Amino acid sequence: MNTVAPRSDSLTDGMHMLIDALRLNDVDTIYGVVGIPITDLARLAQASGIRYIGFRHESAAGHAAAVAGFLTKKPGVLLTVSGPGFLNGMVAAANATVNCFPLVHIAGSSDRSTVDMQRGDYEELDQMAAAKPFVKASFRINRVQDIGRGVARAIRTAASGRPGGVYLDVPASVLTETMDAVAAGDTLWRVADPAPALHPAAERITDALTLLAGARQPLIVLGKGAAYAQADDTIRAFIEQTGIPFLPMSMAKGLLPDGHPSSVAAARSLALRKADVVLLVGARLNWLLAQGEAPHWSPSAQFIQVDIDPSEFDSNQPIAVPLAGDIGSVMDDLVAALDQHPVTCPQLWQIELGEKRRSNDATMAARLAEDPHPMGFYNALRSVRDVLADRLEVYVVNEGANTLDIGRNVLDMSVPRHRLDCGTWGVMGIGLGYAIAAAVESGKPVVAIEGDSAFGFSGMEVETICRYQLPIVVVVLNNGGVYRGDDTDPTGTDPAPTVLSEGAHHEQVMTAFGGTGYHVTTPAELRTALGQALDAGRPALIDCALDVAAGTESGHLTNLNPRSAVPLSPIS
């Protein structure tokens, strides 16, 4: 029931108010899948000038919205139907939250009075309650006059502090509820400065520089929080003025070019093992950094951590100097204080890391020079690397097991925020959603390098790529299996659990929807096909026939994969 007194002759409704509130907050793109009760909402968004990108599955749409948030620093918006569509989208909302990407997931929901009494409504689910464990916050708009507040609250919560996913539940009855149009306008507002700058105390800056100045083997670790912060110049200034070596986490690659003299990506193990003072910039000491533990790290290493979320400090190791603030402000403060508290990296440490880097580079070059036939991961990825070497504007999406692990090492990045991959959860299924958002948000070409198993999780989005005619080239490294394709069922009955269809032609998925398909069997063919596809700027898929025996089970995560203590033999 509308509680606001009429102030004009015209009425508006919840759908119009929701779109108006989103536009007022600069939302220019919505990613989603339509259905009851949000189909008209998507139509209205489009009519209002918001770009609506329709997907084939909500998880892919949600991954797209999340990575749009990462790329733009504005919450991406995901629109889903109720019940199962909401749940599919929740996978992406949870992944966004874990990865610290700002996302607002809006879903329509069924009639409250029926759902709350569990009387069995169409797609009945208490979505607000279901979302809570997976996102930063979960809100429901129960009255049409709260739509502006709900949108503002969702955007503020997603973008401020540690970014993350927010769920916004909008019952169908609120979408159609009417209200006086003038009074409705007064209930909407624009969020001012969604993520305000936050500086740490000056003493902490001094503490950090003092600790770094006394270090014999200092190291800077750049995480995807540093990439997200868009503080590229000040981060570079700090690294170049101090000469401290830096290690980019995978999605921070390109923040400074991988070829930068201070990059120790190619001497990672040595840098971690011997660093005595470590400055973590937007990187958590989670499993991706071995929780900061020996033997990967020196047991006496001291950590300085820059993070927007103070509760991150001490989550794994004692943080000697917590620098709570946004990375742009903190790094500005650090650079500004260098005059008074100079830091110079000891040359011996630079030389030691430089030598290790050169020897590891030589090992990699030798590996890339091998040319097995059928192709393996290294010689296939070498071709991708060669083609991308002078196409720095191309976004790289990368998922799979071996495809990811080897791709991360082989493919150099030179431009910030141009590498998008499985991230904190190591999740599969982000590939085509991330690729679509990168193309939509940037208008630039994208190469999505996918393991054949990983591709399957979002493969139907090839149709989305073709429908919107996006400049995306999907490269499927096809070894016919999860990890690899040469396992057998001991009973001889079925394909083994890790086996997929050998000799599959994934390019036919692309040609089915009007894109260009290539099937290649040699690195030279791959190089030619990728060059041609990128020049054409149209949807394309290159299926690369790899040796079914290429690859390692679980890629670089073999140690995380429990293996049966006794031999796996047929059980009768």
- The two tokens of residue 293 are 């533990």
548 touches ligand ADP by CB under 6 A: no
279 touches ligand ADP by CB under 6 A: no
312 touches ligand ADP by CB under 6 A: yes
Segment interacting with ligand ADP (CB under 6 A) among 28-36, 152-160, 220-228, 547-555: 220-228
251 touches ligand ADP by CB under 6 A: yes
The correct pick among 184, 208, 247, 249 for binding ligand ADP (CB under 6 A) is 249
| Separation of alpha carbons 482 and 485, rounded Å | 7
The correct pick among 254, 282, 376, 539 for binding ligand ADP (CB under 6 A) is 282
Going by their DSSP bridges, the two strands 137-140 and 29-32 should be labelled as unpaired
**Minimum CB distance to ligand ADP, residue 249 (Å):** 3
Residue type, position 524, single letter: A
Burial class (CB in 10 A: 0-12, 13-18, 19+), 9: exposed
Contact of 428 with 454, CB cutoff 8 Å: yes
Q: What is the DSSP string of 533-555?
A: HHHHTS-EEEEEEB-TT-S-TTG
| Separation of alpha carbons 324 and 313, rounded Å | 9
The correct pick among 148, 171, 223, 400 for binding ligand ADP (CB under 6 A) is 223
The correct pick among 383, 424, 464, 479 for binding ligand ADP (CB under 6 A) is 424
Residue type, position 173, single letter: S
156 touches ligand ADP by CB under 6 A: no
- The two tokens of residue 83 are 């019940």
In 10 A of CB 27, how many CB atoms?
Answer: 20
Contact of 305 with 312, CB cutoff 8 Å: yes
232 touches ligand ADP by CB under 6 A: no
3-state helix, strand, coil in the chain (%, to 5): 45, 15, 40
**Minimum CB distance to ligand ADP, residue 282 (Å):** 4
378 touches ligand ADP by CB under 6 A: no
Going by their DSSP bridges, the two strands 178-180 and 11-13 should be labelled as antiparallel
Contact of 20 with 185, CB cutoff 8 Å: yes
Alpha helices, DSSP H only, in 323-388? Answer: 327-337, 347-369, 377-388
x/- map, 92-131, ligand ADP, by CB under 6 A? -------xx-------------------------------
Contact of 4 with 180, CB cutoff 8 Å: yes
Q: What is the DSSP string of 196-225?
A: ---PPPHHHHHHHHHHHHT-SSEEEEE-HH
326 touches ligand ADP by CB under 6 A: yes
In 10 A of CB 371, how many CB atoms?
Answer: 13
- The two tokens of residue 330 are 């903190």
Segment interacting with ligand ADP (CB under 6 A) among 246-254, 377-385, 465-473, 485-493: 246-254
**Minimum CB distance to ligand ADP, residue 222 (Å):** 8
63 touches ligand ADP by CB under 6 A: no
Burial class (CB in 10 A: 0-12, 13-18, 19+), 295: exposed
Rounded to 5 degrees, what angle do the CA atoms 545, 440, 462 make?
35
User: Which of 286/552 has CB closer to ligand ADP?
Assistant: 286
User: Which of 99/379 has CB closer to ligand ADP?
Assistant: 99
Q: Which residues does residue 207 pair with via DSSP β-bridges, in sequence order? A: none
225 touches ligand ADP by CB under 6 A: yes
Number of residues that bind ligand ADP (CB under 6 A): 24
341 touches ligand ADP by CB under 6 A: no
Segment interacting with ligand ADP (CB under 6 A) among 209-217, 225-233, 352-360, 483-491: 225-233
**Minimum CB distance to ligand ADP, residue 281 (Å):** 8
292 touches ligand ADP by CB under 6 A: no
The residue nearest ligand ADP at its CB is: 225
399 touches ligand ADP by CB under 6 A: no
Q: Rule CB under 6 A: which of 252-271 touch ligand ADP?
A: 252
69 touches ligand ADP by CB under 6 A: no
Segment interacting with ligand ADP (CB under 6 A) among 199-207, 302-310, 448-456, 473-481: 302-310
The correct pick among 43, 162, 273, 391 for binding ligand ADP (CB under 6 A) is 162
284 touches ligand ADP by CB under 6 A: yes
Contact of 496 with 553, CB cutoff 8 Å: no
- The two tokens of residue 62 are 């949600």
Residues that bind ligand ADP (CB under 6 A): 99-100, 162-163, 223-225, 228-229, 249, 251-252, 282-284, 286, 288, 307-309, 312, 326-327, 424
